[in-house]
């Protein structure tokens, strides 16, 4: 069909490759299973030793943080010890790949690619942070008038504010999961509306709900997590599985709008897993060491070190650093 895009990129922000493959195999994710069975599949790896804020800029510029300048969401101001919040749209030193596609005359739709800014003059349309995990700018769009059009047709994203929160009750987690699933559903509706418009050379949409649910609900999914509570899990179920399944359904709806000649790219980005360990004690240790005498500080530091490493803390430190950053890409 002439209305079908030439290339469609669908991405799960922070999608865990093991969960994707396991749930595709058992039928929980049938649309992803179909892509994996029919396409070329390869493993990707996140940037080693960098915070996740560097991953998406590296993806869309094609260079490392040494060249694009984004190492973390919070960075040192050059020449000082002051930290500042890094707004990637202004701070990045390289152009995203869609800038060059636009210059070549390709018609583009770039939706919700994390940690990107508006590319003014783009030959096509762009949405930034209509629904996003790391929201820096708030919802904005290109060209002028598109933001109002989207809000008029589809409203605001169902989950307002940051998805990161503490102290949720089991019922709060259920409501949180339902809001994410609703966000996936609404995002699929919005994406499908514009995907049906003719003439796209490249169309991209990133579902960031997988990142939000991974951050907040891993302890409800993984029985090995120290925060896992079977009584709470009986109430909430597995929110990660529910959100992944919702994204899979959205993929199915969008894939039905493509043709035989459409190249489909599925990206699971930088992965997700638990993160806990003795290193979280370090700030409090340093604060307490600031108070006693120098001699007592030395004794306390030595005792802390021996305690951590003689009671399995060293193993925890090493284990917690080996997070599953692997991901999958299917074409």
Whether 308 shows a pLDDT value over 70: the answer reads no
Looking at per-residue pLDDT, the higher value among 1 and 68 belongs to: 68
Whether 310 shows a pLDDT value over 80: the answer reads no
Whether 329 shows a pLDDT value over 60: the answer reads no
In the structure, what pLDDT confidence band is assigned to residue 314 with cuts at 50, 70 and 90? Answer: very low
pLDDT score, position 303: 66
Query: What tens digit of pLDDT does each residue of 47-84 get?
Result: 777 776 888 899 999 999 889 988 888 888 888 888 88
Question: Which CATH number does 7-48+94-279+310-330 carry?
Answer: 3.40.720
Over the chain, what is the mean pLDDT? Answer: 85
Q: Could you state, in order of their start, the residue ranges of all structural domains in the chain?
A: 7-48+94-279+310-330
pTM of the model: 0.83
Helix ranges (DSSP H) in 50-145: 55-61, 65-68, 88-91, 97-103
- State the angle between helix axes of 209-221 and 170-195 in degrees (0 to 180), rounded to the nearest 10: 150
Instruction: Give SS3 for 202.
Output: strand
Could you tell me the CA-to-CA distances from 301 to 167, 285, 289, 310 in Å, in that order? 32, 8, 7, 14
Query: What tens digit of pLDDT does each residue of 284-298 get?
Result: 777 777 665 666 666
Q: What is the mean pLDDT of residues 300-322?
A: 50
Question: Picking from 24-28, 204-208, 262-266, 321-325, which range would have the lowest pLDDT averaged per residue?
Answer: 321-325
Query: What tens digit of pLDDT does each residue of 165-209 get?
Result: 777 899 999 999 999 999 999 999 999 999 999 899 999 999 999
Whether 128 shows a pLDDT value over 60: the answer reads yes
Whether 306 shows a pLDDT value over 90: the answer reads no
pLDDT score, position 100: 97
pLDDT score, position 71: 85
Could you tell me the CA-to-CA distances from 254 to 57, 85, 190, 204, 262 in Å, in that order? 25, 35, 10, 11, 12
């Amino acid at each position: 069909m002439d209305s079908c895009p030439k290339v469609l990129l669908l991405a799960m922000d922070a999608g865990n490759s093991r969960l994707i493959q396991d749930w595709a195999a058992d039928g929980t994710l049938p649309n992803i299973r179909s892509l994996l069975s029919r396409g070329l599949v390869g493993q990707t790896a996140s940037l080693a030793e960098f915070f996740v804020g560097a991953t998406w800029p590296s993806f869309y510029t094609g260079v490392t943080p040494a060249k694009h300048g984004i190492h973390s969401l919070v960075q040192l101001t050059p020449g000082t010890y002051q930290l500042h919040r890094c707004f990637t749209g202004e701070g990045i030193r390289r152009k995203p790949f869609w800038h060059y596609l636009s210059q070549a005359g390709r018609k583009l739709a770039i939706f919700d690619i994390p940690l990107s800014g508006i590319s003014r003059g783009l030959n096509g349309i762009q949405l930034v942070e209509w629904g996003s995990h790391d929201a820096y700018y708030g919802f904005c769009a290109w060209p002028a008038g598109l933001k109002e059009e989207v809000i008029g047709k589809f409203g605001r994203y169902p989950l307002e504010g940051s998805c990161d929160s503490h102290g949720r009750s089991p019922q709060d987690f259920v409501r949180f999961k339902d809001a994410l699933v609703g966000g996936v559903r609404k995002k699929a509706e919005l994406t499908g509306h514009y995907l049906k418009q003719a003439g796209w050379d490249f169309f991209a949409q990133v579902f960031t709900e997988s990142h939000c649910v991974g951050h907040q609900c891993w302890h409800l999914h993984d029985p090995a997590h120290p925060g896992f509570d079977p009584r709470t899990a009986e109430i909430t179920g597995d929110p990660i599985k529910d959100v992944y399944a919702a994204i899979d359904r959205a993929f199915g709806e969008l894939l039905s709008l493509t043709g035989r000649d459409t190249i489909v790219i599925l990206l699971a980005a930088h992965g997700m897993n638990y993160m806990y360990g003795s290193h979280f004690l370090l700030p409090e240790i340093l604060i307490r060491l600031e108070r006693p005498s120098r001699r007592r500080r030395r004794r306390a530091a030595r005792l802390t070190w021996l305690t951590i490493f003689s009671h399995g803390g060293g193993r925890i430190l090493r284990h917690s650093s080996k997070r599953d950053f692997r991901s999958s890409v299917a074409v």
